[in-house]
Amino acid sequence: MSYDILIIGGGIFGMATAVTLQQRGWRTAVLDPGPLPHPLAASTDISKVIRMEYGPDEQYMAMVEESLVGWRQWNESLGPFFHEIGVTMFTQELMAPGGFEYESYQMLLKRGHHPERLNVDEISRRFPAWKPGAFVDGFYHAQGGYAESGRVISALLAEAQRLGADVLTGQTVNEIVREGGRVTAVRTEEGHTFTAGHVVVAAGTWTHLLLPELAPAMKSTGHPVFHLKPAQPELFTAPDFVVFTADIARSGWYGFPLHPGEGVVKIANHGIGQRLHPRDDERVVTAQDEQNFRAFLAATFPALADAPIVYTRRCLYCDTLDEHFWIDRHPAITGLTVAAGGSGHGFKFAPVLGNLIADAVEGRANPWLPKFRWRALASQTTGEEASRHHG
């Protein structure tokens, strides 16, 4: 079969792109091993944080400002699956210049937002599940919350199909066919060949397997995720408990209120992670992960300290070395665009990702794209995502 544009990967990058390209008049297909949402994709699970705060990085905040408009529109047309209950970002010491929370707070003020700074007493009064005195500073910001991530993928898949895209599951791409420096087709492990004028590789953490030239700039890291059943669910329900970060740049811990459908509290770690091979290595949460998690709960949320863990997963990021996305045309192969490198913070941008990636495909100017260009990264490059715990 032949298409204008083939998209490899049905995660958030791929599905958002399929919707936008169909809206722009291209005949598009998405190829994915399936099922969708794919159980191993970073886009999967029950929730992802939608937050504006990126330390001193003004571009990312501007992108989330536009994304929030899109999330609210999607709630009307495709949802509802975005819960704008607000976000808390608390610290164990007073916020100070250079810290993630301080710089985020200052950037919010600079851009005309209205976060509420909270001291140790106000934290305990407003959010009683937090251990009194453990966190002494920070803020609540009403703009933000979480999206039910698996439901978002399903809704975008349905929308892409409604617009005329073919979503072909059971197709595992293992070769990108090139002739004379141009991509002409892809082949799958299942024995099919699909031709196209342009190919978008949006394969998440599998991207650098399909394009080994990206292996020096990308790696796969696995991060522990836990779902808990609280004995006091009302204590972990908005507005008394909202999306949170817990001194995240120094601890990695973040999480969500009681999920409306699953009845669980999800908490995860946005940190160094465990280096894994995306295809060959098992993705398991270890006893050490659980021990670290229990220590965090005891020090932060006493009512969860002994709560049963009902589900775990190790979420595999497609990390670029600098932790910025990788959205650009291939510099040496015509007809090939890469849209990957979510680095554990891409999902919140879903409503703007489609246009961003489609502009790269079409060669349109976009003021946000230069940050995500094809680039040379030295092996010692360090990550720059401001909220992430880097050890």
Q: Which tens digits make up the pLDDT trace of 75-102?
A: 999 999 999 999 999 999 999 999 999 9
Question: pLDDT per residue over 342-357, tens digit each?
Answer: 999 999 999 999 999 9
Global confidence as pTM:
0.97
* pLDDT, mean of residues 67-81: 98
* Amino acid 1: pLDDT: 84
User: What is the sign, positive or negative, of the torsion defined by CA atoms of 21, 345, 137, 246?
Assistant: positive
Phi, psi of 190 (to 5 degrees): -80, 0
Question: pLDDT per residue over 278-294, tens digit each?
Answer: 999 999 999 999 999 99
* Amino acid 236: pLDDT: 98
* Amino acid 142: pLDDT: 98
Whole-angstrom distance, CA of residue 327 vs CA of residue 199: 13
46, pLDDT greater than 90: yes
Cis (ω within 30 of 0) for the bond into 80?
yes
* Amino acid 99: pLDDT: 98
Domains of the chain by start residue, with CATH: 2-43+150-216+322-372 (3.50.50.60), 82-145+219-320 (3.30.9.10)
Reduce the DSSP state of residue 164 to 3 states and report it: coil
* pLDDT, mean of residues 313-327: 98
Whole-angstrom distance, CA of residue 13 vs CA of residue 160: 13
Assign 31 a pLDDT band (cuts: 50, 70, 90): very high
HSE (CB half, 13 Å, CA atoms) of 1? 15
Whole-angstrom distance, CA of residue 354 vs CA of residue 356: 5
Q: Hunting for tokens 């898949």 — which residue is that?
A: 157
Q: Which residues have C-beta within 8 Å of that of residue 139, sequence separation ≥ 6?
A: 88, 89, 101, 105, 115, 116, 117, 118
73, pLDDT greater than 90: yes
Cα 43 to chain centroid, rounded: 6
Say which amino acid occupies 207: T
Whole-angstrom distance, CA of residue 244 vs CA of residue 140: 9
Count other Cβ atoms within 10 Å, centred on residue 237. Answer: 17
Could you tell me whether strands 193-201 and 253-255 are parallel, antiparallel, or unpaired per DSSP bridges? unpaired
Whole-angstrom distance, CA of residue 354 vs CA of residue 347: 12
- Nearest CA to 349 out of 4, 11, 8 is that of 11
* Amino acid 340: pLDDT: 98
Assign 276 a pLDDT band (cuts: 50, 70, 90): very high
Whole-angstrom distance, CA of residue 125 vs CA of residue 210: 52
